[in-house]
Amino acid sequence: MSVFQIYEEFLKLDIASKFYVSLFIALVIYLYKTFLTMQTDSDKQSRDGKLKAGEAIAKFDAYLSNYEHSNKTLEDKNKIVEKMGECYLYFDEKGRKVIRLFYSNRTNVNITTLRSIINNSIDTFEGPNKEKKFFDQISYNLGYLCKPILSVVVSIVLIIILIVHYSIFVNLQTTGEQFILTINFLSVIYAFLVFAALMNILFDDFRNFRVSNVKFWIISIGGIVAPPIAILFIYYDYLYLGFIIQIICSVLLFRKKSSNNV
């Protein structure tokens, strides 16, 4: 069906239908523009943060070069410690570990290791003027345009789910039925949000998208498929069992994240 045919079908609608269709289209456009603006601002802040980190590490590398050609006195080492503290947060966990070792023993071996980490970071740093490859540019543009669409779809689906939930909720007689209904809808919303989050990860870095942690993906997919499994193999009234599984998955993910941060 062409655009002109769709427009002709739209003209055949009654006034009320035209109003709701127009309102829906206006809502979609407004949400897309809003999310696109938010993404643009977020990307700018991210680029500025990466550039600031790159500049700080490059300056620290130059300072280390001067230190290696100095007398390496106690005063020189104290200045190095101060410089390490200034750019400590810009290093990954490996770099921070080396810095903490230098704090404790002040040996030059740690300086050599740290310079190797810095050189690798500088060599792989992508500055604002670096020309992207064709495939990288295509994947970036697709992700940039599709992420706001994903946000719009998520918002509209959530609104529809909430409207459907309310329309059923007000017609139920007992508190128990209302509670079970709410749990069932929360299970569906949870699964939908987890799926949207995974899609967001895909759009963020399409080229490097891979299964980097099997346990993470198993738990995440478990949270998505729990509701349909509860419906297909048990019964709709027991959809809350899927929500219980989702809560367990969330606890496991939280515990895994906490253990990784220790």
Residue of 186, 182, 191 lying closest to 219 (CA atoms): 191
**pLDDT value for 259:** 46
Tokens 């750019």, located at residue: 87
Q: pLDDT digits over 162-173, tens only?
A: 888 888 888 888
Asked if residues 64 and 115 have their Cβ atoms less than 8 Å apart, the reply is yes
List for the chain the helix, strand, coil content (%; round to 5): 85, 0, 15
**pLDDT value for 262:** 38
Residue of 175, 185, 171, 253 lying closest to 220 (CA atoms): 253
Asked if residues 118 and 64 have their Cβ atoms less than 8 Å apart, the reply is yes
Asked if residues 182 and 125 have their Cβ atoms less than 8 Å apart, the reply is no
Residues of the chain short of pLDDT 70, as ranges, are 1-3, 7, 10, 126-136, 139, 198, 201-246, 248-262
Residues 6 or more apart whose Cβ sits within 8 Å of residue 122: 54, 57, 58, 61
Residue of 162, 227, 234 lying closest to 191 (CA atoms): 227
**pLDDT value for 217:** 63
Q: pLDDT digits over 58-78, tens only?
A: 888 888 888 888 877 878 788
